[in-house]
Amino acid sequence: MKKFILILLTGVLFHFAHSQNEIILKPEEAKTEISRHIYGHFAEHLGRCIYDGIYAGSDSPLANKDGVRTDVIEALKNLNIPNLRWPGGCFADTYHWKDGIGPKDERKHIENLSWGNEREDNGFGTHEFLDLCEQLGAEPYLAVNMNSGSVQEAVEWVQYVNHKNGSSDLTDLRQENGRDKPWNVKYWGIGNESWDCGGDMTAEYYSNLYKRYATAMTSYANTEKLFRIAVGPGSDDYAWTETVMKNIPAKRIEGLSVHHYSVFDWSAKGPSDTFSDEEYFKTMHRAWFMEEFINKNSEIMDKYDPDKNVALIVDEWGGWYESIPDKGILYQQNTIRDAMIAGMTLNIFNNHADRVRMANLAQTVNVLQAVILTEGEKMLLTPTYHVMEMYKVHQDAKLIPISLNSEKMVNGNQSLPAISVSASVDSQNLLHLSIVNVDNEKDHPISIDLGDAKYKKVSGRILTSESVRDHNSFSDPDKITPRSFNKATLKKGKITFELPKNSVVVLEVSE
Ligand code: AHR
C-alpha cells in the first residue's frame, strides 16, 4: 500500500513539474490578421548603417546595384521585408531632402549633427532609397523633418515623390533626375521623438504643429490617402499619448509611433557580448516591458479610437548596449540574447495585432540590434536575422489567440515569464507556433493543446546555442543558424516537447 501511495505521489508531482508551461490555442476566437508590417526595419544615416553597410557607391569594387551592396540586398530579400523606415531617427530631424537629389557630384555636403558630426555627401538620397525599396519589394516609410524643416518642405517632398508627371516644377525635376513615374509613398512619419532630439516639444505644442503638417501634406480634399504617423512616447509618459490622441482628430491620423529599447540603465548599458547573467536578466526584463507599454498605450487609444482605426506603430525597438570602439557609431555585437529579445518582442506584437500594425527593428545593418553586420567585403547574418527569417511565416497570417501558463524567471523582486509564444494560421491552412525559452539556465517542458484534433503532422526549426553570449563572427559566421527540430510529438491534438534553454523554435503543424 505504502509503495502504491509513493508511486501515486511521484506521478502527481511529476505531472505538476511537467505541466507548468501550458499553451492552449483558441482557434475559434481567431479573427485578426497579423500585419506583415510588424516585420519592418529601420535604416538611419548613422555610423555604418547606410554608408558602408547598405550603400557602397557605384564605383565600389564590391558587387552592387546602383551603389547598394548586392549581398545585403539578397540577404534582406530573404526576410520579405515589408517596409523600411528612413532617413532617421534623430538624423531625420535635421535632414533636408533636397540636399540628396540631382547629380551626385553637385550634392551638398553636410555635417551629420545627430551622429558624430561626420561629413555626409548625400550620395544616398531620396532616389537611392526609394529605388532600394523597389528592389526589396518593401514599402518605403519616410520620416519628415519637423524640427529644422518646414511644412512647405514636407509638402514638396510628398509632391516630388508622389504626384503625377506634369503636376508641377517638382515632378518635372523628378523626371529630369531620372525617375519617370511617381513612387507613391504611403507611409509618412510626421516628426521623430519630438519630445527630445526632434525639437524638445510639449505634447500640446507637438499635436498642434502636427495638424499643420497633416493637413498641408495631403490636398484639401484629402485625396492623397497618405498614412500619417504621429509621434507617441518613448517611455512610460502616457500623458503624451493622451494629449496627442485627444488633440488630433481621427481624420488626420492613421498611426501613432512609439519607441522602446531594451536598456536597463541608460548611463551604463553594459557590453553587447560579454554581459553577465544579471545583465541578461535585466535586459530581458526591459524587453518584457513591451507588453505593458503596448497595453497601456492601447488602453488610452481605445478611449479616443474604440474602433482601432489608428495603428500603434513601434517604429524603433531592440537591444541597445555599449558600442564596440572603432567599429562605427552604435555598432554592437548581436548574440543569442538578441535572438531572445527578437523572439519575445515579435510574439508580443503578434498577440496585439489588433492594434499593433507596424513595427521597425532598430537598425538594419551595423547599428544597434542589426540583422546584418559587415566588415569590408565580408557580411554576416546575426541571430536576430535568423529569428526574423523564421518568423516570416506569421506575415499576413491569421492570429490564433492563446492562453499561456508559464514558469517564471525571478531575480530579486523582478520576474518575467520564461516562455513566450504566438500562433497563426496561414492561407495554406498551415499552423505556425513560435515559442521562446528565455530562461538561460534550464530547459522547459512544453505542452500545447491545439484545440483541434484535425492536425496530424508537426515539424520545426530551432535557433539556439549553449550560451546567451554566443554570436556569429567574421571568422565563424555560421556558428548560430537555424537547425531542424524534430523533438516535438503530436498526439490527439496535443504537442509536447522539451524546449532547450535560450532557444527559439518555430513549429509547423498540418493535417
Ligand atoms: O536608433 C537610434 C536613435 O534612437 C534614433 O535616431 C532616435 O530616434 C532614437 O533615440
pLDDT tens-digit map of 416-467: 999 999 999 999 999 999 999 999 999 999 999 999 889 999 999 999 999 9
pLDDT at 64: 95
The answer on pLDDT for 126 being more than 80 is yes
Catalytic status, residue 193: yes
- Ligand 1 pocket check for 93: Cβ under 6 Å: no
DSSP letter (8 states) at residue 365 = B
- The number of the ligand 1 atom at minimal distance from the alpha carbon of 192 is 8
Which distant-in-sequence residues (6+ apart) come within 8 Å of 420 by Cβ?
343, 344, 347, 348, 406, 435, 436, 438
- The number of the ligand 1 atom at minimal distance from the alpha carbon of 90 is 6
pLDDT at 11: 44
Across 7-30, average pLDDT: 68
Which distant-in-sequence residues (6+ apart) come within 8 Å of 108 by Cβ?
99, 122
Indicate where the chain has its CATH 2.60.40.1180 domain(s). Answer: 20-29+401-510
- To test the pocket of ligand 1, the residue of 50, 90, 145, 365 to mutate (highest count of ligand atoms within 8 Å of its CB) is 90
pLDDT at 222: 62
Smallest CA separation from ligand 1 atom 4, residue = 89
39-78 as b/e: b if 16+ CB within 10 A: bbbbbbbbbbbbbbbbbbbeeeebebeebbbebbbebbee
Catalytic status, residue 316: yes
Question: Could you say which of 128, 139, 279, 316 is catalytic?
Answer: 316
Smallest CA separation from ligand 1 atom 5, residue = 89
- The number of the ligand 1 atom at minimal distance from the alpha carbon of 198 is 8
* pTM confidence score: 0.95
- Ligand 1 pocket check for 90: Cβ under 6 Å: yes
- Ligand 1 pocket check for 362: Cβ under 6 Å: yes
The CATH number of the structural domain formed by 36-395 is 3.20.20.80
pLDDT tens-digit readout, 54-107: 999 989 999 999 899 999 999 999 999 999 999 999 999 999 999 999 999 999
Indicate where the chain has its CATH 3.20.20.80 domain(s). Answer: 36-395
Question: Could you say which of 120, 156, 193, 279 is catalytic?
Answer: 193
Smallest CA separation from ligand 1 atom 9, residue = 89
pLDDT band, residue 17 (cuts 50/70/90): very low
The answer on pLDDT for 13 being more than 60 is no
Q: Which fold does the domain 20-29+401-510 belong to in CATH?
A: Immunoglobulin-like (2.60.40)
pLDDT band, residue 472 (cuts 50/70/90): very high
Nearest alpha carbon to residue 387 among 462, 328, 452: 462
pLDDT at 12: 44
pLDDT at 15: 43
pLDDT tens-digit readout, 193-243: 999 999 999 999 999 999 999 999 997 666 678 999 999 999 999 999 999
